[in-house]
Amino acid sequence: MSSKKVTVPALAARKLKNKKIVMLTAYDATFARLADDAGADMLLVGDSLGMVIQGHDNTIPVTLDDVIYHTRCVARGARRPHICADMPFMTYKVSSEEALHAAGRLIQEGRAESVKLEGGAEMAETIARVVSAGIPVVGHVGLTPQSVHSLGGFKMQGKTSASRDRIIQDAKAVADAGAFCLVLESMPAQLAETITEEVTIPTVGIGAGPHCDGQVLVIYDMLGMNEGFKPKFLKLYASMGGDIKRAVATYAEEVRAGAFPAPEHTTTIDQQPQGELYGGGSKDTRH
Ligand code: KIV
């Protein structure tokens, strides 16, 4: 795989080439580096960090400063993938001007390369304003988690034909306003397929079936770190929750038994190393 930076035009061109976009969330430099090494195209610093990093029940408490902080961490770890930062709750719905300021901070301070915001036709003017300032925008329709209270929970969308029509109109409005990519969350596969056919920008699905132009998952979920969380759309690619608990339990046992550190982990006076203890390969400063 080429190590060339994944750019906005390259992502937009994927649709024509019928080449799927691989997106994952990332919140820190270590996971960003691992996802980069494994070939992810796009890293989303999602406001899902409110749930998987901060331990909240939803994404609403996440602030702009939180996302800026985590985006800076991701930008230090990732070289090839495109980095998109989520616009948190109430940072883009009061006015287009506020949205532009918030998006500008994510790009300038966070070092994101695009921003994502939730909503449909009602967000068209804001999307156009942010795009006109040279900031690429990713849209997000279907289940929009920041509206969890008005939706009555994290529920599948597009259950009725009226709601499916509205989501299609929203997707078109977001694309027409200038978004370069569109996340489709929690909707029937046929609806995501229709949208993917009807908009010219790539769609990236989560819980939206196989017909999207790409897929995104929350990295902690797909690695099995969020034990007990197993919605239908999620495939577990690892069971790291169990692995981490086993490793910590073994460590605890060995510390208590005095078995760690062993002689091979211990330096005596006559064996003191000359070089740096933490330098070299353990750090990878990509920018
Ligand atoms: O915040 C997030 O992680 C997201 C993805 C699930 C699309 O918005």
pLDDT (0 to 100) of residue 8: 98
Q: Is 185 a catalytic residue?
A: yes
Please determine, for residue 279, whether its predicted confidence score (pLDDT) is greater than 70: no
Q: Rounded to whole angstroms, how far apart are CA atoms 221 and 224?
A: 5
Q: Which residue has the tokens 């961490």?
A: 73
171 assigned to some structural domain: yes
Q: Could you tell me if 221 and 176 are in contact, meaning their C-beta atoms sit under 8 angstroms apart?
A: no
Q: Could you tell me if 120 and 157 are in contact, meaning their C-beta atoms sit under 8 angstroms apart?
A: no
CB 48 less than 6 A from any atom of ligand 1? yes
Confidence label for 24 from pLDDT (cuts 50, 70 and 90): very high
245 assigned to some structural domain: no
pTM value? 0.95
257 assigned to some structural domain: no
Q: What is the mean pLDDT of residues 11-23?
A: 96
Output the domain CATH number for residue 19. Answer: 3.20.20.60
- Active-site hit among 185, 197, 198, 264: 185
269 assigned to some structural domain: no
Q: Which atom of ligand 1 is nearest to the CA of 48?
A: 1
Q: How far apart are the first and last CA of the chain?
A: 20
Number of neighbouring beta carbons within 10 Å of residue 79: 15
250 assigned to some structural domain: no
CB 215 less than 6 A from any atom of ligand 1? no
Please determine, for residue 196, whether its predicted confidence score (pLDDT) is greater than 70: yes
Please determine, for residue 230, whether its predicted confidence score (pLDDT) is greater than 50: yes
Q: Could you tell me if 46 and 66 are in contact, meaning their C-beta atoms sit under 8 angstroms apart?
A: no
Q: Tens digits of per-residue pLDDT, 206-228?
A: 999 999 999 999 999 999 999 88
Number of domains in the chain: 1
Q: Could you tell me if 209 and 201 are in contact, meaning their C-beta atoms sit under 8 angstroms apart?
A: no
Confidence label for 3 from pLDDT (cuts 50, 70 and 90): confident
Q: How far is the CA of 15 from the centre of ligand 1 (A)?
A: 21
Q: How far is the CA of 214 from the centre of ligand 1 (A)?
A: 14
Instruction: Tell me the residue range of the domain where 61 lies.
Output: 8-240
Q: Tens digits of per-residue pLDDT, 199-209?
A: 999 999 999 99
CB 36 less than 6 A from any atom of ligand 1? no
205 assigned to some structural domain: yes
Q: Tens digits of per-residue pLDDT, 56-113?
A: 999 999 999 999 999 999 999 999 999 999 999 999 999 999 999 999 999 999 999 9
In DSSP notation, 13-79 reads HHHHHT--EEEEE--SHHHHHHHHHTT-SEEEE-TTHHHHTT--SSSTT--HHHHHHHHHHHHHH-S
CB 206 less than 6 A from any atom of ligand 1? yes
Please determine, for residue 277, whether its predicted confidence score (pLDDT) is greater than 80: no
Q: Is 237 helix (H, G, I), strand (E, B) or coil?
A: coil
276 assigned to some structural domain: no
1 assigned to some structural domain: no
pLDDT (0 to 100) of residue 282: 46
